[in-house]
Amino acid sequence: MTRSQVREIVMHISFAQSANPRPVSEVLDLLLDKEYYQSLGEEDELYVNYPPAKQIAYLRRMAEGVTAHLVELDLYIEKYARGWKISRISRVAMAIMRVSMFEVLYMQDIPGSASINEAVEIAKHYEEAETVAFINGILGSFIREEMPGLEGSVTPAEAP
């Protein structure tokens, strides 16, 4: 399992949490039940291969972190979604941006540009081109204004 796949799974968790809030530990325990996880593989190839222990730990760290910082992440999204009420942004777009912003803020071993690029690539699978560009713009503004040390090394991803 790659980090890209972990990001996408965490996005799925964040999306599900926005519709049906439950303790993230409960969601992770269910998702990571080997039999249940493998049954998901019948519907989505993302879940075909059960992750090794190292990837499970990474997945838990990401999902728990996004959940723990949800209010903060949503405030950043609201700040940079200029002219948009947060309630108008799709839950999928919100989940994608939460994961990326969490990585930029709290996972120093991941370059901000990689996180933005991955967010845009994930968005391309779930959203229309306009929404992908919207996500890219918000994340680009966020990283330029909130992470000035990264400013020179990060350029927003190419939108479709």
What's the pTM? 0.88
Mean pLDDT, residues 44-52: 93
pLDDT tens string 72-114: 999 999 999 988 888 899 999 999 999 999 999 999 888 888 8
100-to-37, 42, 50 alpha-carbon distances in Å:
24, 27, 23
Give yes or no for a contact between 98 and 89, defined as CB atoms under 8 angstroms apart: no
1 has a pLDDT exceeding 70:
yes
Domain boundaries, the chain: 3-153
- Residue closest to 90 by CA, chosen among 134, 51, 48, 57: 134
Q: pLDDT value at position 122?
A: 96
CATH value of 3-153 in 2.30.300.10, 1.10.10.10, 3.40.309.10, 1.10.940.10: 1.10.940.10
**What's the pLDDT band for 149 if we cut at 50, 70, 90?**
low
Higher pLDDT, 93 or 157: 93
Backbone angles phi, psi at 33, to 5 degrees: -65, 120
Mean pLDDT of 150-154: 45
pLDDT at 31: 94
DSSP 8-state code for residue 154: -
